[in-house]
Structure 1
Amino acid sequence: MSIAENLARVRARIAAAESAAGREPGSVRLLLATKTQPIDLIRAAVEVDAAARATSAGTVHRVLLGENRVQELVAKAPDLTDLRAALHLIGPLQSNKVNAALRWATCVQSVDTAELAERLDRRCAATDRTLDVMIQVNVSGEPTKSGVSPQDAARLTEQVDALDRLRLRGLMTIGANSPDQSLVRRGFATLRELGERIGVSELSMGMSRDLELAVTEGATIVRVGSAVFGART
């Protein structure tokens, strides 16, 4: 199927999930996860999506793009700046790559330690900018996933809130890698409950395989790659 057809199918899935959960249409934003995707395919997706949203009712937001790897973000960003998309880093960020990431990222969704937050804050102070961030929470407890534990998320939130150059926008998680949908959904519910206790409303959760469960539990951003671009090579 074409990029336009894939995007239409994904947006239909999001709309159906919003309706089933009794949520306002358009309350969930789509982030295009572009890991390993070539520039021409990314540009095509952004242009198709922007055109489709421009003809719909309501506020038209900037297209969201998400990269997992700093090296891909740095390599691709110069060829995407004219699209005026918001570039989010959604993968792990090592301290020695902070400078490179902040040349292009408008938001870092993967803050999971106070040390990383402090490094980002210092770099933002040095370059006289403010950065949107989200705290990544490992709701499944899987050792292969990054993120602060749910028990420590509130403390990390306080530490990030105390930093002048970071704006805490919300929480992010990756759903459990399990065919048990009840388990996956419980993880998303955990993030929603954390957000309610902490006082943040932006929740980045849900991907191609589980976005409906995430929307049901309150996702405001779903990160979709393969359902739009096809299987990664």
Structure 2
Amino acid sequence: MPSSSIADRLAAVRSRIDTAARTAGRDPGEVRLLVATKTQDADAVRAAVEAGVDLIGENRVQELVAKAPALADRVAAGTLEVHMIGHLQRNKINQVLSTSTGVETVDALALARALSTRCVRDDRTLDVMVQVNVSGEDTKSGVVPGDAVPLALDVAALPGLRLTGFMTIGAHLDAGGEPAGDAAVRAGFARLRAIRDEVLASDAPGTADARELSMGMTTDLDLAIAEGATIVRVGTAVFGPRAR
């Protein structure tokens, strides 16, 4: 895809974010755009970065590693953050730590402890988020909402990790298996915000920076922003429909 097309799509997405924020009575500057690069080649991702993207997210470790060389100069310069936004297996931790600046999908204490051990060994601090499955859908990863606060407090106390907030994927289906309506999607996002607020109010060690709410994608970012999203993850609206 020509870089001009990506730049035009980026401008449209940013305009949509601004409009959603203002409609919700929020400052558009409170919402960051994370460009999801799943299935996109390195040239397309580089074009997005050169068009002004400073935060990208990758779902698959193998793609993260493959694209890392094309982005290494921007990461080293501190002008690009790269987040892991897909399910992470413990046996892939070393690959993720060598190619990313943050992990948004911590959903178990065992994973957090493994990340902590590697970070302490490497004398680094990794930004992490706790992923919460607010919809209860079996196809989604994440800790159940009732366990999210205890997990977050445990993660926040681990050396080598900085808890920066929480991540979720909006509901796709309701309890009856039908497409979820706006009310159900918003309720899930509101649940994540309540979890975040409870953790911040705890004043527990390591929780002071846990302010981020990474929620909302191309189809539901407006609803997420209305419920307090600070990061929205958009791929299709920037790159176009993914090739099958």
Q: TM-score, with normalisation over the residues of structure 2?
A: 0.88
Q: Which residue of 1 aligns with 2:176?
A: none
Displacement of 1:24 in angstroms is 1.1
C-alpha displacement at 1:126, in angstroms?
1.3
Match of 2:45 among 42, 51, 66: 42
How far is the alpha carbon of 1:149 from its aligned partner? 0.6
Aligned residue pairs, count = 221
The alignment yields a C-alpha RMSD, in angstroms, of: 1.1
Partner of 1:53: none
In the alignment, which of 68, 73, 80 is matched to residue 59 of structure 2?
68
How much does 1:127 deviate? 1.1
Q: 2:73 aligns with which of 79, 82, 96?
A: 82
Question: Which is worse superposed, 41-50 or 3-12?
Answer: 41-50
Structure 1 position 222 matched with structure 2 position 228: no
Give yes or no for contact 2:17–2:28 (8 Å, CA) kept in 1.
no
- Return the letter of the residue paired with 1:227: A
The equivalent of 1:4 in structure 2 is 7
Change (3 A) 1:152 1:179: closer
Three-state SS of the structure 2 residue aligned to 1:26 is helix
Correspondence for 2:36 among 33, 40, 62? 33
Q: Measure, in 1, the Cα distance between the counterparts of 2:28 and 2:225.
A: 11
* CA displacement at 1:179 relative to structure 2: 4.2
> Aligned partners of 1:71, 1:65: CA distance in 2, in Å?
15
Deviations 1:173-220 (A, max 9, x none): 000113411111110010011111111321000000000000000000
CA distance in 2, matches of 1:122, 1:105: 17
| Divergent runs of 4+, >4 A | none
Among 176, 189, 196, the alignment partner of 2:171 is 176
CA deviation digits over 1:59-88, x for unaligned, max 9? Answer: xxxx00100011110111111112231110
- What is the one-letter code of the residue matched to 1:76? K
Distance 2:192 2:180 in 1: 19
Distance apart, 1:102 and its partner CA: 0.5
Distance 1:141 1:195 in 2: 18
CA contact (8 A) 2:93 2:115 kept: yes
> Distance in 2 between the 1:25 and 1:94 partners?
35
Alignment of 1:137-152 (within 5 A): 137-152=132-147
Counterparts of 1:142 and 1:41 in 2: how far apart (Å)? 32
Alignment of 1:87-102 (within 5 A): 87-102=82-97
- 1:104-183 to structure 2, matched below 5 A, reads 104-177=99-172, 178-183=179-184
What SS does the corresponding residue of 2:136 show, helix, strand or coil? coil
1:56 — aligned with what? none
Give TM-score scaled by structure 1 length: 0.93
What is the CA distance between 1:25 and its match in structure 2?
Answer: 2.5
Cα deviations across residues 114-169 of structure 1 (Å, max 9, x unaligned)? 00000000011111111000000000000100000110001101110120110000
Q: Secondary structure at the match of 1:147?
A: coil
Asked if 1:208 is matched to 2:218, the reply is: yes
